[in-house]
């Protein structure tokens, strides 16, 4: 009798775990009529844009929890090619660069993930995420069908696929959408190139979730591909109906999404800190939710562009600050703001029946740096060797300098 009872318990355990696994692996995110569908039910994406590169790994969990407590259900991330392949052919997805760990952490907190692997991502990041060593090939044509460039893009995408394709939602992970290129309509018109990038994204293993492309309402048709979802980017104060007017005319039954709703703006050296009114941001999100429009808030938490990874606009040349605070709801230091609580008050009214927002995580402790004084200097030019004339000035990349 005892052995029979043990056998029955084991059988029940196997059935229970098999059922749980089936429920996990059978999840499906897809495009429905005027709505995204999760397991066949309407689903509004409320995404918070975070960049793993701009948040120390020890703080990843805290920032994701902050987004969850804000009322978001998804985390949106760029993949920064040049931080993963700093030397040609040498990839690093460990530690601070462990994108799979970041996505799994989001899943542990009940959050879905949207992946934006570029290859160009902009993001006010050095060379828009493209590796410096591409420029060692003097005739390279970036963001085109240049054979060398596309070969390297393909290699990079396959490496990203190894990390993240197994984490698609139908495989038990939490990745629900993947983006192809990034705002290419603001750069040029080249459908064959965008099509080739789409194919590389699919070949890297992202075949089980919808692929999309993002642009502005003024140029999204420049490179629009029939088999991709079209989304638009705009900021606070925009007229929501006007932003989606053309898209609704061309695709009256497509789910609508603002793939970047700009909460603030980035800072340049030598200029004042950029800010945008909190009430305008909240009103814009309310207008979208009332119309069943999904969104990703860029940025929900900007963080810091550490080291030499800050990008620049050109022309005219204007460099970005290390701070990527972005006047976001979660400050650069990870603190709550007026924007945070105004948005939280809004989003808690759009929760599914029976759900409540978790408590806002406590701010992490900070250290105090004691006052100190500089007493020595090392003038640059007096410490350089004697100057040598050259008639053939070469770019820094030709000397293996990124």
Catalytic residue list: 183, 260
Q: How many CB atoms lie within 10 A of CB 359?
A: 8
Is the omega angle on the peptide bond into residue 316 within 30 degrees of 0, that is, cis? yes
- Separation CA 191–CA 160 (nearest Å): 23
Is the omega angle on the peptide bond into residue 402 within 30 degrees of 0, that is, cis? no
- Separation CA 256–CA 42 (nearest Å): 13
**Contact of 113 with 75, CB cutoff 8 Å:** yes
Give the residue among 210, 150, 149, 203 at the shortest CA–CA distance from 175: 210
- Separation CA 111–CA 47 (nearest Å): 9
Give the residue among 251, 263, 282, 260 at the shortest CA–CA distance from 345: 282
Which two tokens mark 90? 């040498």
- Separation CA 14–CA 8 (nearest Å): 10
Q: How many CB atoms lie within 10 A of CB 249?
A: 8
**Contact of 366 with 331, CB cutoff 8 Å:** no
Instruction: Specify the DSSP class assigned to residue 274.
Output: P
């Amino acid at each position: 009798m005892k052995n029979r009872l043990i056998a029955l318990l084991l059988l029940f355990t196997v059935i229970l775990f098999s059922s749980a696994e089936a429920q996990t692996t059978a999840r499906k995110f897809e495009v429905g009529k005027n709505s995204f569908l999760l397991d066949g039910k309407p689903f509004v994406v409320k995404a918070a844009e975070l960049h793993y590169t701009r948040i120390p790994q020890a703080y990843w969990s805290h920032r994701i929890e902050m987004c969850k407590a804000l009322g978001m259900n998804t985390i949106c991330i760029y993949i920064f090619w040049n931080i993963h392949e700093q030397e040609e052919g040498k990839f690093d997805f460990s530690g601070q660069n462990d994108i799979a760990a970041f996505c799994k952490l989001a899943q542990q907190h009940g959050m879905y993930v949207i992946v934006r692997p570029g290859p160009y991502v902009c993001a006010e990041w050095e060379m828009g995420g493209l590796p410096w060593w591409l420029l060692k090939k003097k005739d390279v044509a970036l963001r085109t069908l240049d054979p060398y460039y596309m070969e390297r893009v393909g290699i990079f995408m396959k490496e990203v696929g190894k990390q993240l394709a197994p984490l698609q939602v139908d495989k038990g992970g939490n990745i629900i959408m993947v983006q192809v290129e990034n705002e290419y309509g603001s750069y040029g018109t080249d459908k064959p190139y965008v099509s080739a990038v789409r194919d590389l994204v699919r070949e890297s293993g992202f075949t089980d979730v919808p692929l999309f492309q993002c642009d502005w309402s003024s140029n999204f048709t420049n490179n629009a591909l029939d088999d991709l979802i079209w989304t638009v980017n705009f900021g606070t104060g925009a007229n929501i109906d006007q932003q989606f007017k053309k898209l609704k005319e061309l695709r009256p039954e497509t789910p609508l999404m603002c793939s970047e709703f700009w909460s603030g703006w980035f800072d340049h050296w030598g200029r004042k800190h950029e800010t945008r009114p909190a009430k305008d941001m909240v009103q814009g999100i309310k207008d979208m939710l009332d119309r069943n429009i999904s969104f990703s808030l860029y940025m929900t938490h900007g963080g810091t562009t550490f080291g030499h990874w800050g990008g620049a606009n050109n022309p005219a040349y204007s460099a970005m600050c290390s701070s990527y605070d972005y006047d976001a709801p979660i400050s650069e230091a990870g603190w709550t703001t007026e924007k945070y609580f105004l948005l939280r008050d809004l989003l808690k009214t759009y929760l599914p029946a029976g759900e409540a927002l978790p408590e806002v995580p406590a701010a992490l402790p900070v250290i105090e740096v004691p006052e100190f004084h500089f007493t020595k200097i090392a003038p640059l030019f007096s410490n350089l060797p004697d100057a040598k004339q050259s008639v053939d000035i070469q770019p820094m990349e030709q000397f293996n300098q990124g």
